[in-house]
Amino acid sequence: MSKPKLALYWAASCGGCEIAVLEIKEKILDVANVFDIVLWPCVMDFKYEDLEKLGNKEIDLCLFNGAIRTSEHEHLAKLLRDKSKVMVAYGTCACEGGIPGLANEFDKKSIFQRVYVETPSTYNPDKKFPEENYDMPEGKIHLPAFYDTVRSLKQTVQVEYFIPGCPPLEKTTWKALEAVIKGDLPPVGSFLGAGDKTVCEECPRKKEEKKIKGFYRSHLKIPEPEKCLLEQGIICAGPATRSGCEAACIKANLPCWGCYGPPPGVSDVGAKFMSALASVIDSDDEKEVNKILEGIVDPIGTFYRFGLASSILRRKKISQEKKE
């Protein structure tokens, strides 16, 4: 029998998920022994053409990380979907849109303006922007189209399993690989390596009644090591985040950032996080409440740090004038 085939792909991601795969350390040799790796652009040289030549559902497992930002990402997502038996959204960007999804606060035009004109280190007096098609003496050059809106993998193709985390834990990756090798797969749509409660369930800190008079972002206050961070006024996404990370950040005296995405049954992580935060405010006076809420400087960045692309509203409104 031939070896099962494995594909790994990165779309709009930072590369951290690739490192997370390598975090299984020497077991990566076992992976290479057991699997026939057919695509892994970060590590080995493969051509997309070779991938296109494979038959439908010939790949046994595809670990796809990163959000869908350009037409190339979308094309590869669809191609890999056709070729793979099991498609796994690996890491939060693929599951929820992740940090790249925060770009949905802007559109293509304003992103290009910022990146290619306004950034202090950029010298671009002719205001040239990358073009999708460009004629060179040697022939035509194509660049992938850049979309206005970042999407998660789930919003682009059908996905069998999700492995959340920014990046996913080493043992989770190994569990997923093991499950495929053994043919012991959970029901479709499951989250591998994550719980079905919130981070607060795993958090070792002492929790009492939460009543606070002010919010602090994590750089503004040194937290006490034993007490619940929210009780100290530090904005912690624990109550609105899926468990499974064993409260890794909180154990390191940092608040939860929400990288595991919303717990089951939540359609909009930001709305839930917002509710949770507002309900710990200790004031019945409207003015005082407003003053306390001034501590939350960037609502989208705070509440939707990883989930903007898959939230209910999905993006900031693109004004019509800008579009034309």
DSSP assignment string, 207-230: -----BS--B-GGG-PPPSSB-TG
Nearer to other proteins by Cβ, of 206 and 323: the residue is: 323
Residue partners of 213: CB distance under 8 A and separation at least 6: 233, 282, 283, 292
Tokens at 286, concatenated: 């409207």
Cβ–Cβ < 8 Å for 307, 101: yes
Q: Are strands 146-151 and 161-163 parallel, antiparallel or unpaired?
A: unpaired
Nearer to other proteins by Cβ, of 117 and 296: the residue is: 296
Nearer to other proteins by Cβ, of 33 and 319: the residue is: 319
CA gap 119, 30 in Å, rounded:
45
Smallest gap from Cβ 289 to other proteins, in A, equals: 5
Provide the b/e sequence for 29-39 (b: ≥16 CB within 10 Å): eebeeebeebb
Cβ–Cβ < 8 Å for 104, 17: no
Nearer to other proteins by Cβ, of 176 and 236: the residue is: 236
Smallest gap from Cβ 148 to other proteins, in A, equals: 7
- Name which of 176, 181, 164 is nearest 269 in CA terms: 164
Interface residue list for other proteins (CB under 8 A)? 71, 74-75, 105, 132, 136, 138-143, 145, 147-149, 151, 267-268, 270-272, 274-275, 277-279, 281, 283-284, 286, 289-290, 293, 296, 298-300, 303, 311-319, 323
Nearer to other proteins by Cβ, of 139 and 183: the residue is: 139
Smallest gap from Cβ 237 to other proteins, in A, equals: 15
Smallest gap from Cβ 305 to other proteins, in A, equals: 13
Nearer to other proteins by Cβ, of 251 and 316: the residue is: 316
Cβ–Cβ < 8 Å for 42, 15: yes
Smallest gap from Cβ 162 to other proteins, in A, equals: 21
Smallest gap from Cβ 108 to other proteins, in A, equals: 11
Smallest gap from Cβ 319 to other proteins, in A, equals: 7
Nearer to other proteins by Cβ, of 85 and 108: the residue is: 108
Smallest gap from Cβ 29 to other proteins, in A, equals: 32
Nearer to other proteins by Cβ, of 151 and 205: the residue is: 151
Cβ–Cβ < 8 Å for 144, 89: no
Residue partners of 241: CB distance under 8 A and separation at least 6: 198, 199, 256, 258, 259, 260, 261, 262, 263, 269
Dihedral over alpha carbons 52, 53, 58, 60 (to 10 degrees): -50
